[in-house]
Amino acid sequence: MHFISWNIDSINAAIEHKSARGEMTWDVLQNIAAQQPDVFAIQETKLKATGLTKKQATVLADLFPDYQIYVNASDARSGYSGTMILTRLTPLAVTYPTIGAPGEMDLEGRIITLEFEDFFVSTVYTPNSGSALARLADRGAWDDAYRAYISSLDAQKPVIFSGDMNVAHQEIDLKNPKTNHKSAGFTDQEREKFTALLSAGFTDTMRAQNPDTPGIYTWWAQISKTSKINNSGWRIDYYLVSDRIADKVTETAVIDTGLRQDHAPISLKMAF
């Protein structure tokens, strides 16, 4: 089975592709469609609260024929956050869970979960701690609530889950660790919470397959014109699986996006 996950940073920007960046995003989306993954998870869709427009739905249906599309748009703020899953496999059930997160986080369309016969597939867009770490306390509460939620799924059947988790777990997961210990996404608290998630019974598939390989990143800051050229990035997008199915992983990869900065898609293949 083939899974792909991507923080697209606006479905509409990709579909309209009226800018140079939009063209690059559209090219990546077409590349993913050509690979025909069994399940394609998207974060930061930035859809309106009403979901896909008619044009967006038509373009996606043309690009991904025979896929079922599930959308969780933000009700808290239209055009913000949001997740989506496209699947060639028919799920037994689809849920858009609330996890008891602080503030409006549960209203921001951050999780979708599909249940299949032998496993769950879920995607998440983890809240960012924000500039000056203004949301760090709330982020910590989110991490605890999310870990409890994923663990509740794992108690029923194995879980394959992905997304922009907004944390670089170890120093190997970003280019400049020494200068980022107080930056959102690399604070001690966020890293400890991710360790706790793994300790709850889950495997970081990319790192499991590449335990000592540096320079594997999934995000490069747009604010720096040379971040992608110099591979000055962070690995903050993940595929995690229940420990008991980790031996089913056959391949992990970061999908090449050329000169496009921001997030790159990640790929997971498993043999069931």
Q: What is the pLDDT of residues 119-165, one digit of tens each?
A: 999 999 999 999 899 999 999 999 999 999 999 999 999 999 999 99
Mean per-residue pLDDT for 158-173?
98
Question: By three-state DSSP, how is residue 118 classified?
Answer: coil
Mean per-residue pLDDT for 164-175?
98
Q: Quick one: pLDDT at residue 100?
A: 97
Q: What is the pLDDT of residues 3-22, one digit of tens each?
A: 999 999 999 999 999 999 99
**Residue 44 marked ligand-binding:** yes
What CATH number did the domain enclosing 235 receive?
A: 3.60.10.10
In terms of residue numbers, what domain contains 193?
2-270
Across the chain, mean pLDDT equals 97
**Residue 263 marked ligand-binding:** yes
- C-alpha–C-alpha distance, residues 40 and 52, integer Å: 16
Closest CA to 159 of 123, 121, 126, 125: 121
Q: Quick one: pLDDT at residue 131?
A: 87
**Residue 31 marked ligand-binding:** no
Q: Give the torsion sign (CA, 267, 251, 239, 173).
A: negative
Mean per-residue pLDDT for 58-83?
97
Closest CA to 216 of 238, 193, 194, 199: 238
Token pair recorded at residue 163: 């997304």
- C-alpha–C-alpha distance, residues 168 and 191, integer Å: 7
**Residue 7 marked ligand-binding:** yes
Mean per-residue pLDDT for 25-50?
98
Question: What are the catalytic residues?
Answer: 125, 164, 263
- C-alpha–C-alpha distance, residues 14 and 45, integer Å: 10
First to last CA, the chain: 7
Q: Quick one: pLDDT at residue 182?
A: 94
Burial zone of 20 (CB within 10 Å; 0-12 exposed, 13-18 middle, 19+ buried): exposed
Q: Quick one: pLDDT at residue 48?
A: 96
Q: What is the pLDDT of residues 200-249, one digit of tens each?
A: 999 999 999 999 999 999 999 999 999 999 999 999 999 999 999 999 99
Mean per-residue pLDDT for 257-262?
95
Q: Is the pLDDT confidence value at 37 over 90?
A: yes
Q: What is the pLDDT of residues 181-198, one digit of tens each?
A: 999 999 999 999 999 999
Number of structural domains in the chain: 1
Q: CB neighbours of 17 closer than 8 A, spacing ≥ 6?
A: 23, 25, 26
